[in-house]
Amino acid sequence: MRKIIVGLKRVIDYNVRVRVRSDGSGVEKEGVKMSINPFDEIALEEALRIKEQGNADEVIVLSIGSIESQQQLRTGLAMGADRAILVNSENASDPLSISKVFQKIIDQENPILVLLGKQAIDNDNNQTGQMLAALLNWPQATFASEVKINNDSATVTREIDSGLETISIALPAIITADLRLNEPRYVKLPDIMKAKKKPLDVINFDDLSITIKNTIKTVNTEPPEQRQKGIMVEDVSALVNELKNKGLV
């Protein structure tokens, strides 16, 4: 069976205004709307399209985090994924730890393709896909804006600093999705009801026999500085002078 694994991360919804805790220990999540990381949602949409084209038989969504992450996995199932896996863990938080957990699940499931968002909007690390490819010794294609599956290979168009780059990689492989890869589908109510009957397996992190050593520690979290109030100028000459005074030109 040709499987695709898609990583889904639970993050604060991108429409929510993030508030920093008063003690600077992080951002406030209590009572805040949580959603699938937008880049992961794009990755899932691409996996579903690949399956609909007949190039895969099963799409599995995988999340690593608290038990509340089942909500995002159920959303993934409602979008069209066949089954879900939650690795229940409060400890695996840095990219290398997450990659090691993915590696264990991939060894069990033996997929032809792993699709991830290029980064998560909560920490913007942009490291998990690359680290996972290194651990597995698999080909990788990051920042994908177009993916075409051709039997045992994939042609991927990547967004790079100088424009677009098209590469061909052998499967199995790791691909990370960029913003312009696709537009995720809207989840309908009947699909939400069907998703409740789809399998969702919960695995305890300790059962994977992985030794985690978090190498990243958040020392302090601060909100950005307030934007300075603008000024009105009478003409272009005055505008240029103000820009010069501020050292901008």
Q: Does residue 208 form part of some domain?
A: yes
* Predicted pLDDT at 92: 65
Q: Does residue 229 form part of some domain?
A: no
Mean pLDDT check: name the lowest of 6-15, 21-30, 63-72, 119-128.
21-30
Interval 96-154: pLDDT, tens: 889 999 999 999 999 999 999 999 988 888 999 999 999 999 999 999 999 999 989 99
User: What is the rounded CA–CA span in Å between residue 105 and residue 111?
Assistant: 10
Supply the pTM of this predicted model: 0.86
pLDDT at 209 over 90: no
Domain enclosing residue 16, as ranges: 3-222
Do 99 and 128 contact (CB within 8 A), yes or no? yes
Q: Does residue 241 form part of some domain?
A: no
Q: Does residue 231 form part of some domain?
A: no
Query: What's the number of domains the chain is made of?
Result: 1
Q: Which residues contact 56 (CB under 8 A, 6 or more apart)?
A: 2, 3, 4, 47, 50, 112, 113, 149
Q: Does residue 230 form part of some domain?
A: no
Q: What angle do CA 99, 101, 107 make, to 5 degrees?
A: 100
pLDDT at 95 over 70: yes
Q: Does residue 24 form part of some domain?
A: yes
Q: Which residues contact 196 (CB under 8 A, 6 or more apart)?
A: 74
Q: Does residue 140 form part of some domain?
A: yes
HSE-CB for 131 with a 13 A CA cutoff:
15
User: What is the rounded CA–CA span in Å between residue 8 and residue 118?
Assistant: 12
HSE-CB for 135 with a 13 A CA cutoff:
20
Q: Does residue 160 form part of some domain?
A: yes
Interval 63-83: pLDDT, tens: 999 899 999 999 999 999 999
The CATH number covering residue 202 comes to: 3.40.50.620
